[in-house]
Amino acid sequence: MSEQLGTLEELPEDYRADMTAAGVAPLWPMMRNVLPHGAPNPVTRPGFWSYAAIRPLLQRAGELTPVEKAERRVLVLSDPGRGAGAMQATASIYLGLQLLLPGETAPAHVHTPSAVRIVVEGKGGYTVVDGEKLPMEEGDLVLTPGGEWHDHGHEGSEPVVWLDALDLPLFVYLEGSYATEGPLQAQRNRPDASQVEYLSSGLAPTRKHGAGTRRYPMMRYPWTRTEAVLNEMAAYTDGDVAELDYVNPETGADVLPTMGFTAMRIGAGQVDNPPLRSSSAAFHVVKGRGTARINFQTIEFGPKDTFTAPVFADIRIAAADDTYLVRVHDRPLQDKLGYYEERAK
């Protein structure tokens, strides 16, 4: 196979002009841009967002912009490879930090992209999805899948902040991203499904004949339970990093079609050194401190920080103390497309 392909400049000027007039272009000068040999050449670069640095900016956003003028008061985490203002943290994952102040409500809407909220700080916030009121406590993972009506409210006394993770870049690329607004939803007078039907792992409501199940039966995954299981697993993993995938309790499938979420516990002094993965990822630190090396970039992280890794990144995470993270990744999408891959280092 030829390594050196012909260039556009080698073609006669009149021929280039005729191609432009006809609305065509030669593939061979651009071939390596879209089909590099051996591995992708990502635009995405490792990113790091210090919560200590961003929190004052969120607080000031709350002073400067009422939620009525923002609809969603969010600071976007932009991929360094694409520059400030980029609406993506990796090629397929959008991240933003959202602030809701006491007494505020964010209006109801429904949109084509799917979203997950990872609660960073505060109490008293909630999300309503299809009439189900979901409490938002630190570390909780709350789903708002594409096509599901949702709104947010705050009944507490201190600011609530959460990390938004969406598959928005995919829908923007497909020119399929849009939202519809509506009135606040009537809330059902009962706890959410994580506190009733799916309170215990391995148990699901009895399937009545002819009754179907909801596509997203459980919308909230409480962190207190997740951390307890991670700690129990860590006692029996012979030094391995404890990991849990967030799944649909009825099917065992990933919680969303295009994004996966994995809770991790890296014990003090432990190192996570995974294989090279074709999926991109974002890591949100729920608790703990340590050092992450992403390719040739070293990051010192602490509680509530967020960092990202592009495809096939060389990742090494060393925990200074017991560290809990949620890894957001696009493996479910790659599995569906049939090309997810892991390579030894």
Written as one string, the DSSP assignment of 115-135 is EEEEEEE-SSEEEEETTEEEE
Tell whether the model's pLDDT for residue 113 goes beyond 80: yes
The reply to whether 239 and 318 lie within a common domain is yes
The one-character DSSP state at 148 is -
Question: Diameter of the chain by CA atoms?
Answer: 74
**What is the mean pLDDT of the segment spanning 328-333?**
98
Tell me, yes or no, whether 28 and 139 share the same domain. Answer: no
Domain co-membership, 186 together with 275: yes
Same domain, residue pair 187 and 132: yes
Instruction: Note whether 25 and 1 are same-domain residues.
Output: yes
On whether residue 12 sits in a domain, the answer given is yes
Judge whether 119 lies within some domain. yes
Domain region containing 170: 48-200+217-343
Count of CB atoms situated within 10 Å of the CB of 332 = 20
**pLDDT at residue number 237:** 84
Same domain assignment for residues 117 and 244:
yes
| pTM attached to this predicted model | 0.95
Spatial CB neighbours of 121, under 8 Å, sequence gap ≥ 6: 138, 159, 160, 161, 304
Q: Is the same domain home to 94 and 243?
A: yes
Q: What is the pLDDT averaged over residues 277-295?
A: 98
The pLDDT score that the predictor gives to residue 238 is 82
Mean pLDDT computed over 295-305: 97
* Amino acid at the residue 77: L
**In the predicted model, what is the mean pLDDT of residues 130-152?**
96
- In degrees and rounded to multiples of 5, residue 134 shows phi and psi of -115, 110
Classify residue 210: in a domain, yes or no: no
Query: Are residue 87 and residue 222 in the same domain, yes or no?
Result: yes
Length of the chain: 345
Q: What is the pLDDT of residues 204-249, one digit of tens each?
A: 888 877 666 789 999 999 999 999 999 999 999 888 899 999 999 9
**Confidence band (pLDDT; 50, 70, 90) for 1?**
low
Grade residue 140 by pLDDT with cuts at 50, 70 and 90. Answer: very high
What's the pLDDT band for 2 if we cut at 50, 70, 90? low
Examine the domain organization and report whether 24 and 70 are in the same domain.
no
Both 6 and 88 in one domain: the answer is: no
CATH number (domain holding residue 160): 2.60.120.10
Average of per-residue pLDDT across 2-19: 91
Q: Is residue 288 part of a domain?
A: yes
Both 28 and 126 in one domain: the answer is no
Q: Do residue 23 and residue 125 come from a single domain?
A: no
Total domains in the fold of the chain: 2
Say yes or no to pLDDT of 299 above 80: yes
**Going edge to edge, which strands form the sheet with 160-166?**
74-76, 94-100, 160-166, 115-121, 141-144, 220-221
| Residue 116: inside a domain | yes
- Would you place residue 250 in the very low, low, confident or very high pLDDT band (cuts 50, 70, 90)? very high
The answer to whether residue 207 sits within a structural domain is no
